[in-house]
Amino acid sequence: MTLPRPHIVILGGGPGGYEAALVAAQLGADVTIVDADGLGGSCVLTDCVPSKTLIESSTTMASLGRSASLGLQLEDGSNPTITVDAPALYARIKALAAAQSNDIVEHVLAEGVRIIAGRGRLEDPRTIVIEGSSERVRADIVLITTGATPRILPDATPDGERILTWRQIYDLPELPSDLIVVGSGVTGAEFAGAYQALGSNVTLVSSRERVLPHEDKDAAVVIENVFRRRGMNVLSKSRAEAVHRKGDSVVVTLADGRAITGSHCLLTVGMVPSTSGIGLGEAGVSLDSRGFIEVDRVSRTSVPGVYAAGDCTGVLLLASVAAMQGRIAMWHALGEAVQPIRLSHVASTIFTDPEIASVGVSQAAVDRGEINARVIKQQLATNPRAKMAGFRDGFVKVFARPGTGLVLGGVVVGPRASELILSLSIAIEQNLSVDQIAHTFSVYPSLSGSITEAARSVMEFGTDAIL
Ligand SMILES: Cc1cc2nc3c(=O)[nH]c(=O)nc-3n(C[C@H](O)[C@H](O)[C@H](O)COP(=O)(O)OP(=O)(O)OC[C@H]3O[C@@H](n4cnc5c(N)ncnc54)[C@H](O)[C@@H]3O)c2cc1C
């Protein structure tokens, strides 16, 4: 006798949704994704993928700017100015995002997943209705992955022309000449750095004492120094109260009464979960005080059979975490062996120049005494490969357990730190010690050599003595 295939309906087609759909389909479930804006979600269409594509261009621009220091010159000996072709830059970004979304559509269709384009809402914990249609989709299991949207300030209404969220910048006809970025968290720092490298004059308005207030302090100091050295106007302890249009300018008013004028203002002040108006309360799904869906470590909500994943749950707001939460939900719902999500193993990167990548325990947790760890720090400036490439800002930091030397975490600040961090991620996942890293070959010369060198610096003194 063949058992009926469970029908899984996924509300939202971002990484939390489509990765879950692939797992569920491969496990033999009947899967439907209901998605309003296009598969890949905000991650692919407006947030992660477009911003990282923009940053590829800005990083290349920064490299070109360093060419003279590497002994390179145009043949005619003139002093060339490299400028940005904004329409071409933005067209490339949008085309790349659309192509990535299409690839995902093809992939999930090939796995037999049904896609319904439309806005859905829970009528009850087992029924999704599609806005503007009479269609009702019945489900055995529901996964909510509706993501989040940019938070805006009450007195700063984006107009899509001068006052912008990051989802609107790719429609600009030109590069902002004087960009004011409000908010110095990850998104603010990434865009401020990218636009500065592309040639905009940038003012970064930070309500906190330093940029990236929630990240490793040493890393944030490096980035802030680099920003200032390159000419960015970083305003610390400056809270933006209002942003208004004045002809072709914008005026940002700060809480202390100061006013800053620019050509454009980019608001990067956080995310609001997309959880209202979709029937969650009526279905009994619990939300926290900020509107995020409450989930446990296998993505269950307060209602049996209703799971949630990704930004709508407020758990770390990363594409990789959304995808893992979605997969875990499906493994759990379909009765597979499943390991609850381990947030202490999540690797993440801030794509500034230099990049900041981190994994595992944080310096802040060590400083608060929550984690007993020895901290080893190796400056990138002494690395031969970094010298050859003309990089001097950055470091490798490793957190290790005293006694055993087990790697508990790490921070890499440097070019392509997003790639370098993998060795520390593997060390944490596989319970490796600094001793084992120190005995691992790295290429000479290489930036990753700083990771093995950091590990060796512990060994020079003897692991037992130091750890
Ligand atoms: C500027 C920026 C850069 C980022 N860069 C990175 C990065 O480099 N690395 C990284 O890991 N993360 C990054 N992130 C975070 C990452 O984009 C998110 O964590 C990720 O998009 C979350 O995926 P998700 O599936 O939860 O939601 P989303 O990607 O937001 O997708 C949600 C989908 O649900 C749909 N939807 C919403 N409501 C409904 C409804 N009622 N019915 C039907 N469909 C609905 C939406 O249309 C959307 O398609 C970045 C975020 C921002 C803002």
For the stretch 387-396, pLDDT in tens is: 999 999 999 9
Say how many Å lie between the CA of residue 231 and the centre of ligand 1: 32
Assess whether pLDDT exceeds 90 at residue 1.
Answer: no
Region 313-342 average pLDDT:
97
pLDDT band at 80 (very low <50, low <70, confident <90, very high): low
CA distance 401 to 376: 11
In angstroms, the CA 279 to CA 287 distance is 12
What is the reported pLDDT for 67? 85
Across 233-242, b (16+ Cβ under 10 Å) vs e yields bbbeebebee
Rounded to the nearest integer, the mean pLDDT of the chain is: 94
Percentage of the chain surpassing pLDDT 70? Answer: 96
In this structure, the dihedral spanned by the alpha carbons of residues 60, 64, 70 and 71, taken in order and rounded to 10 degrees, is: 150
> Does the structure show a pLDDT above 70 at 320?
yes
Both tokens of 369, joined, read 């005494």
Residue in 33, 114, 116, 146 to alter for ligand 1 test, most ligand atoms within 8 A of Cβ: 146
Instruction: Tell me: pLDDT of 352 over 90.
Output: yes
pLDDT at 459: 62
> Nearest 5°: CA angle at 293, between 287 and 296?
110
Question: What is the best residue among 11, 33, 39, 43 to mutate for testing ligand 1's pocket, by most ligand atoms within 8 Å of CB?
Answer: 43
Q: Is the CB of 42 under 6 A from ligand 1?
A: yes
127 pocket-lining for ligand 1 (C-beta < 6 Å): no
Asked whether 319 lines ligand 1 (CB < 6 A), one says yes
pLDDT at site 64? 87
User: Residue 134: left (phi > 0), alpha (psi -120 to 50), or beta?
Assistant: alpha
What is the reported pTM? 0.96
Q: What is the mean pLDDT of residues 114-141?
A: 96
Of residues 81 and 178, more confidently modeled? 178
Spatial separation of the C-alpha atoms in residues 34 and 325, rounded to whole Å: 18
Q: Cα separation of 154 and 460, whole Å?
A: 56
- Cβ proximity of 371 and 407 under 8 Å: no
Q: What is the predicted pLDDT for the residue at 139?
A: 98
User: 347 exposed, middle or buried (CB, 10 Å; 0-12, 13-18, 19+)?
Assistant: buried
Question: 276 C-alpha vs ligand 1 centroid, how far in Å?
Answer: 16
Q: Does 268 contact ligand 1 (Cβ within 6 A)?
A: no
Rounded mean pLDDT, 453-460: 81
Q: What is the mean pLDDT of residues 158-175?
A: 97
Report the distance separating Cα 309 and Cα 144, nearest Å: 6
148 C-alpha vs ligand 1 centroid, how far in Å?
6
For the cut 90, the answer to whether the pLDDT of residue 262 exceeds it is yes
* pLDDT at 430 > cutoff 90: yes
Residue 37: strand, helix, or coil: coil
Taking alpha carbons only, the member of 435, 433, 427 closest to residue 457 is 435
pLDDT value of position 457 = 85
Lowest mean pLDDT among 15-19, 368-372, 409-413, 454-458: 454-458
* 249 has pLDDT over 80: yes
* CB distance 187 to ligand 1 below 6 Å: yes
Q: Is 123 close to ligand 1, i.e. is its CB under 6 Å away? A: no
For residue 74, the CA-to-ligand 1 centroid distance in Å is: 43
Of the chain, the end-to-end C-alpha distance in Å amounts to: 61
Residue 66: pLDDT band with limits 50, 70, 90:
confident
C-alpha–C-alpha distance, residues 289 and 434, integer Å: 42
Left, alpha or beta for 146 (phi > 0: left; psi -120 to 50: alpha)? alpha
Q: Mean per-residue pLDDT for 416-429?
A: 97
> Model confidence at 48, in pLDDT bands (50, 70, 90)?
very high
DSSP 4: P
Check if 17 has its Cβ closer than 6 Å to any atom of ligand 1. Answer: yes
Confidence of residue 463 (pLDDT cuts 50, 70, 90): very low
Residue 81: its pLDDT value, please? Answer: 75
Nearest CA to ligand 1 atom 39: 146
